Structure 1
Amino acid sequence: MRAGASQDAADRVAAALFPGSLAAAAASGPMLMEALAEVREFVAAGAAGAEEALLPAGEARFLAPTDPRVMRDFMSFEKHIINATRRLGGQPPETVYRLPVSYKGNPTTLLGQDDVVPWPSYTERMDYEMELGFVVGRGGRDLTPEEAVNALLGVTIFNDFSARDIQKEEMGGMLGPAKGKDFATGLGPWIVTLDELDLANLSMTVRVNGEERSNGVSGEMMWSPAELVAWASAGEQLHPGDLIGSGTVGEGCGLELGFFLGPGDTVELEVGGIGVLRNTIGQPEPRRWYPSPRQPSL
């Protein structure tokens, strides 16, 4: 405590600067970064009480590092788009070259470091997708790419878990993905601010059960992070803490490589300058109900 503040007053200030919600903290704008810088200096200086405030990483549980109101996931790596569409017997749609295309996911099923990925009863083809996650700081509406960069808080690792069989079924109905994606998204292990990273040169590596599956680099994106954020803000407000996925790096999913995950598999996504996001696939859940097909009536 500084300036003779009481414990109660210090607790109130700490709760205001570091609420339990990243979205709420990010809404404070520059105050958040200033407060974090003070904490770093406090610890580095070995100030009284600093050691008591630290918790070894091995003793902590890392939750998903943001709690977005809205999460969007784009397609921006051409190699992935070509590989995935060819595996499904098609060709890349012209739309992906004209616009950054995205879907809105389920922000209530975000998983953190070492969380077990649920296996929904409606799928037999579980997959991972290696992506970057861009976390919105101050937000905004109708941003230009130049403005969008300044609207970001930082970058994390994004695993877009996918149920490929139901995803294909749903998207054949001209909507989705929905159940094919909504059950889980891995995120973490933490957020790294933009000043610490070269967004055009981040290495992106996938390992399954310790075996390396693919390598890529962030610079292969057709649409820059700034362009993705700017387009996401077109006609709608981006809020602090919102999450924007980069789309899957080339060869960054099992669909492209011709294999799928099994129960108990461990997936590690490593991004240079950020770290490793690790999750284990759970056991298939028992099916309690599934829709019965209908016959056309017209």
Structure 2
Amino acid sequence: MKIRRLPDPASLAVLHEPSNQWISLRAALAAHPKLKSLTHLQSNLLALLAAGEQSRAKIVDVVDQAAGEGIGIATDPPPAIPYYPSSLRCFLGWEEHWINAAHGLVQRNLPISRPVIRTYERLTRKVFPLLRPGAAFYDHPVYYTGNHLTVIGDGEPMPWPSYTGELDFELEFGMIIAHPVRDATPEKAAAAIGGFVVFNDFSARDVQWDEQRRGVFGPVVKTKTFGSSIGSVVVTADEVLPKIDQLTASVRVNGELWSSTGTHGLRYHPGEVVAYASQSENLHSGELITSGTLPSGCGLELDRWIRPGDEVTLAIDGIGSVTNTVAEPG
């Protein structure tokens, strides 16, 4: 099921996939008074994601009928943030991204070291040790806690932080927790995921280099906390989890294709990721857990850089997309 929010009146819309039409859930349910028990789902995304199979099947039937009768059709609904996360945990999902990004940081900030690195990698056919993720990444999922209060929606402008000259995007997916868990097994943790959304983890790369070398808490403070964005469309987990490592993805800037990539090579399954986050800790409905950047999913890896006024669109097939225009520094 694909879900988005309609602005007025406040309602969720569900995609009727055979006709590719968005149907207002409020309007569809209003036409079926006998389904009054489901009206609490018409504007509550988290409740809809947590609804059981029987309730969701009824929603699908109602949407089918509404589409057939021309009820509640929302033509070209504007982009809108689907919900506001109650917390944000950002994981590292792909070793390839880390290695590519580390090479990019060194190339931009310490070019004198490049001959040594190239020689080592050519002779050993291995990645230079300091450019690999830390050892913990190979033992268990790793993450940092981001700023959920600066998450913006699809279509909103992303302010350029006044303290950076190197703003970057990061193509990720987000997982919305729908069921509370604690000390969960990977299987139970996977079942706690209600939906998926495209996520853009904007980053200040020059600040990252400084925080990584001289900071106390690592390169995830002012580098990351100023802003991120999520797409308008949320896709229920049953449509995404079975193919989580088979999705294709892309980056476009001002309509130009900058990168074609995908989710293949994900180090840990989403169930393992959520299970790790839940160790001796309660996870609540509404928390957002992100995947980390897909390989070749950021400008640092591509050595291509966005500027004020650029329109950045990140897309993952089977989930959706998020588009933001970069505002002027200020």
Q: TM-score scaled by structure 2? A: 0.75
Partner residue of 1:17? 41
Query: What does the per-residue CA deviation read over 1:259-285, in whole Å, with 9 as the maximum and x for residues that have no partner?
Result: 221001111111111222211111111
Taking the aligned partners of 2:33 and 2:42, their CA distance within structure 1 comes to 20
Distance 1:248-1:67 versus aligned 2 partners, 3 A rule: same
- Aligned partners of 1:195 and 1:259: how far apart in 2? 35
Q: How many corresponding residue pairs?
A: 273
Please list, as runs of the form range in 1=range in 2, the aligned pairs for 1:171-250 lying within 5 A after superposition: 171=212, 172-176=214-218, 177-197=220-240, 198-250=243-295
Identity of aligned residues (%): 37
The AA in structure 1 aligned to 2:72 is A
Pick from 147, 153, 163: which aligns with 2:194? 153
Runs of 5+ unmatched residues, structure 1:
286-298
Residues of 2 paired with 1:60 and 1:111: CA distance? 15
* Residue identity in the other structure for 2:88: M
Cα distance change of structure 1 residues 282 and 37 upon mapping to structure 2, 3 Å threshold:
farther
Q: 1:204 to 1:75 in 2, by over 3 A?
A: same
Residues in 2 aligned to 1:141 and 1:213: alpha-carbon distance in whole angstroms: 40
Q: Which residue of 2 aligns with 1:71?
A: 88
Structure 2, unmatched stretches of 5+, are 1-29, 107-129
Aligned pairs (5 A) from 1:1-298: 1=30, 14=39, 16-19=40-43, 22-23=45-46, 26=49, 29-31=50-52, 34-46=54-66, 51-56=70-75, 58-63=76-81, 65-89=82-106, 90-92=130-132, 93-171=134-212, 172-176=214-218, 177-197=220-240, 198-285=243-330
SS of match in other structure, 1:43: helix
Which amino acid counterpart does residue 229 of structure 2 have in structure 1? Answer: G
> Does the Cα contact within 8 Å between 1:206 and 1:212 map onto a contact in 2?
yes
Deviation readout 1:213-236 (Å, 9 max, x if unpaired): 222221211112111111111121
**Shift in CA distance, 13/205, structure 1 to aligned 2, threshold 3 Å:** closer
Q: Report the AA paired with residue 141 of structure 2.
A: P
Instruction: State the partner residue of 1:289.
Output: none
Deviation track 1:112-151 (CA, whole Å, cap 9, x = no partner) reads: 2211111111111110001111111112011111111111
Paired residue secondary structure (2:309): coil
Q: Kindly indicate whether the alpha-carbon contact (under 8 Å) linking 1:130 and 1:253 is maintained by their aligned counterparts in 2.
A: yes
Distance 1:2 1:226, change over 3 A: same
Q: Deviations over 1:55-99 (max 9, x none)?
A: 22x243321x23222110011101101111222334122222222
2: distance between equivalents of 1:3 and 1:69?
33
Distance 1:195 1:24, change over 3 A: closer
Cα 1:199–1:3 shift into 2, 3 Å: closer
Match of 1:293 in 2: none
How far, CA to CA, are the matches of 1:170 and 1:154 in structure 2? 33
- Retained in 2: the 8 A contact 1:133–1:243? yes
Structure 1 residues 19 and 166: CA distance shift in structure 2, 3 A: same
Cα distance between partner residues in 1 of 2:32 and 2:271: 41
More off after superposition, 38-47 vs 234-243 = 38-47
What is the distance in 2 between the residues matched to 1:13 and 1:99?
A: 40
Q: TM-score, normalised by structure 1?
A: 0.83
CA shift in 2, pair 1:13/1:201, >3 Å: closer
| Deviation, structure 1 residue 194 | 2.3
CA RMSD after TM alignment:
2.4
Q: Which moved more, 1:165-174 or 1:206-215?
A: 165-174
Q: Which moved more, 1:235-244 or 1:206-215?
A: 206-215
Q: Which amino acid aligns with 1:251?
A: S
Secondary structure of 1:88's aligned partner: helix
Q: Deviations over 1:132-179 (max 9, x none)?
A: 111111120111111111111021111101111222223331314122
